[in-house]
Amino acid sequence: MNVDVDYSKLNAKIGRYLDELGIEAKDVIATQSRLLLKALVKITPPGTNAEGRKAVFSDVARSMSPVYPENFTGPHAERIRELVQKKDDIGFQAFLSRQTNKWKNWTVKPFSPQLHHAPQNSRGRVTKSQRVFVLDAKSWEKYVKREQAHVGRQKAGWWPAYLALGGTLPSWITRHSEGARGFLINGLDNKSFPSFTMVNQTKGIGGVRRLIQSAVRIRAESVEKDIKYRLAQLAKKTNAT
What is the structure's pLDDT at 134? 97
Residue 23 maps to a domain: yes
Same domain, 141 and 156: no
Same domain (yes/no): 23, 38: yes
Residues 67 and 141 placed together within one structural domain of the fold: yes
Cβ-based neighbours of 56, under 8 Å, separated by 6 or more: 144, 147, 148, 150, 151
Q: How many CB atoms lie within 10 A of CB 41?
A: 21
pLDDT band at 40 (very low <50, low <70, confident <90, very high): very high
Residue predicted with more confidence, 102 or 193: 193
What pLDDT, on a 0 to 100 scale, did the predictor assign at position 217? 92
Whether 27 and 64 map to the same domain: the answer is no
Same domain? For 141 and 66 the reply is: yes
Task: Enumerate residues 6+ apart whose C-beta is below 8 A from 62.
Answer: 126, 127, 128, 129, 130
Q: Kindly state whether residue 129 falls inside one of the protein's structural domains.
A: yes
Evaluate if residue 214 carries a pLDDT over 70.
yes
Q: Are residues 120 and 183 in the same domain?
A: no
From the list 2, 8, 20, 23, the residue with the least C-alpha distance to 194 is 23
Percent of the chain at pLDDT > 90 equals 64
Q: Which domain holds residue 140?
A: 50-148
For 220-237, the pLDDT digits (tens) are 999 999 989 988 888 888
206 band by pLDDT with thresholds 50, 70 and 90: confident
pLDDT tens track for 50-78: 999 999 999 999 999 999 988 877 778 88
Which residue, among 148, 111, 113, 107, has the nearest Cα to 130 in the 3D structure?
A: 107
| Residue 3 falls inside a structural domain | no
Tell me, yes or no, whether 158 and 195 share the same domain.
yes
Residues 58, 143, single domain; the answer is yes
Is residue 194 a part of any domain in this protein? Answer: yes
Distance of CA 46 to the CA centre of its chain: 5
Among the candidates 100, 117, 148, a domain finishes at: 148
Among 34, 20, 24, 10, residue whose Cα is nearest residue 164? 34
* Domain boundary residue, one of 95, 116, 148: 148
Residues 27 and 71 in one domain: no
Q: How many domains does the chain have?
A: 2
Contact between 41 and 158 (Cβ < 8 Å)? yes
On whether both 63 and 42 belong to a single domain, the answer is no
42, 54: one domain: no
Tell me if 211 is assigned to some domain.
Answer: yes
**What mean pLDDT do residues 201-206 have?**
87
The verdict on residue 219 lying in a domain is: yes
Q: What is the dihedral of CA 115, 77, 89, 149, to 10 degrees?
A: 30
Domain-located, residue 121 = yes
Domain assignment present for residue 1? The answer is: no
How many degrees, rounded to 5, is the angle at CA 100 between CA 94 and CA 101?
Answer: 105
User: What is the DSSP-derived secondary structure letter of residue 191?
Assistant: S
Mean pLDDT for the chain overall: 91
Lowest mean per-residue pLDDT among 16-20, 32-36, 187-191: 16-20
C-alpha span between 148 and 215 (Å, rounded): 27
- Residue where a domain stops, chosen among 128, 148, 168: 148
The pairing of beta strand 107-108 with beta strand 182-187: unpaired
